[in-house]
């Protein structure tokens, strides 16, 4: 552990001890304590297309009672609802431009302020993709007197990822997915439940994927380095089974919580 990481770790211990003291004081005076920040979660889930973000993010949401902010979905929702941010974004997209970092950060801010599911924290998926976006996100959180707990990157070899995704089959109506090799349907080419035909998504081909992966590595390499310098980055091997990946993620997110529980038992004992 480097000096800056050790310092961050010690600071987090001090914060958690302070939270514990406040809780015990509240117990002694009979007042109900506010929810401790140590029991909250503010994380970013990074990973290339097909690495398993869509599988893991809903589990994080359910386990930790936080909101899942998938920026692509948020953008579509704002455009559909014709919110001021959605109208501004649609104008830019219709002109063939990229939605500005400020609009994206403001969409996240709007969710944190108005989405009740975000009161215990969030898992952010699909943002930031560049260092300037990461800096703007930090600035917005700082204004809210909040900061990230962790940044987790799902790591997987490109060739393995391509073989995974090019074998993917989808039932369009339900979103159920299969894989020709790893998770085949009972009857080739049809959905197990409805018997309807399965399709392969048009962008699930090797050529398109190779292009998307190249863009991903170019963009996110510097973002990973940015968070490594802050001591927030964790890498998880995404070539493992989804259950093992989930166990790894949980151990990262629950480390601080387990520490608080140990403090609880030692102080109550």
Tell me the CA end-to-end span of the chain in Å, nearest whole number: 31
> What is residue 227's predicted lDDT score, i.e. its pLDDT?
96
Please give the pLDDT value at position 23: 64
211 is in an annotated binding site: no
3-state class (DSSP) for residue 221: helix
How confident is the model at residue 198, as a pLDDT? 94
Q: 240-244 — which CB contacts under 8 Å span 24+ positions?
A: 242/52, 242/55, 242/56
Residue 132 known to bind ligand: no
For tokens 């204004």, what's the residue?
143
Residue 254 confidence (pLDDT): 83
Instruction: Report whether pLDDT(182) > 90.
Output: no
> Which among 54, 19, 57 is positioned nearest to 40, based on CA atoms?
19
254 labeled binding residue: no
Q: What is the pLDDT of residue 247?
A: 94
Q: What is the pTM of this model?
A: 0.70
Work out the pLDDT band at 205, boundaries 50, 70, 90.
Answer: confident
> pLDDT at residue 92 above 70?
yes
127 assigned to a ligand binding site: yes
Please give the angle made by the CA atoms of 222, 225 and 227, to the nearest 5 degrees: 115
pLDDT at 119 over 60: yes
Residue with tokens 């990946």: 245
pLDDT range class, residue 38, cuts 50, 70, 90: very low
Question: pLDDT value at position 18?
Answer: 65
189: annotated binding-site residue? no
pLDDT higher than threshold 80 for residue 45 = yes
Which residues, in sequence order, are CB contacts of 235 under 8 Å at separation 6+? Answer: 152, 153, 155
- pLDDT of 134 higher than 60: yes
pLDDT in tens, 211-225: 889 989 998 899 999
Cα–Cα distance for residue pair 252/248, rounded to 1 Å: 7
pLDDT single digits (tens) 159-179:
888 887 788 888 988 888 888
Percent share of the chain, pLDDT over 70: 80
Mean pLDDT, the chain, whole residue set: 84
**If pLDDT is split at 50, 70 and 90, which confidence band does 36 have?**
very low
Q: Is 128 annotated as a binding residue?
A: yes
Residues carrying an active site annotation: 53, 129, 168, 201, 212
């Amino acid at each position: 552990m480097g000096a800056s990481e050790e310092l961050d770790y010690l600071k987090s211990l001090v914060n958690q001890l302070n939270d514990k003291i406040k809780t015990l004081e509240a117990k002694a005076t009979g007042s109900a304590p506010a929810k401790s920040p140590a029991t909250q979660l503010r994380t970013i889930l990074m990973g290339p297309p097909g690495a398993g973000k869509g599988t893991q993010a809903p589990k994080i949401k359910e386990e930790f009672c936080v909101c899942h902010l998938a920026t692509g979905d948020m953008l579509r929702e704002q455009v559909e609802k014709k919110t001021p941010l959605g109208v501004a974004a649609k104008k830019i997209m219709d002109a063939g431009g990229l939605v500005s970092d400020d609009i994206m950060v403001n969409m996240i801010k709007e969710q944190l302020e108005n989405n009740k599911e975000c009161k215990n924290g969030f898992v952010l998926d699909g943002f930031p993709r560049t260092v300037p976006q990461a800096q703007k996100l930090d600035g917005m959180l700082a204004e809210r007197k909040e900061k990230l707990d962790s940044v987790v990157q799902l790591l997987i070899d490109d060739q393995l990822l391509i073989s995974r995704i090019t074998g993917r089959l989808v039932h369009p109506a339900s979103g159920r997915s299969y894989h020709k090799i790893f998770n085949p349907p009972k009857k080739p080419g049809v959905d197990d439940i409805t018997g309807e035909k399965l399709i392969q998504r048009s962008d699930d081909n090797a050529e398109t994927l190779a292009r998307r992966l190249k863009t991903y590595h170019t963009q996110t390499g510097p973002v990973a380095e940015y968070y490594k310098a802050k001591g927030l980055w964790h890498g998880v091997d995404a070539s493992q089974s989804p259950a093992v990946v989930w166990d790894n993620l949980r151990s990262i997110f629950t480390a601080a919580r387990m520490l608080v529980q140990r403090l609880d038992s030692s102080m109550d004992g």
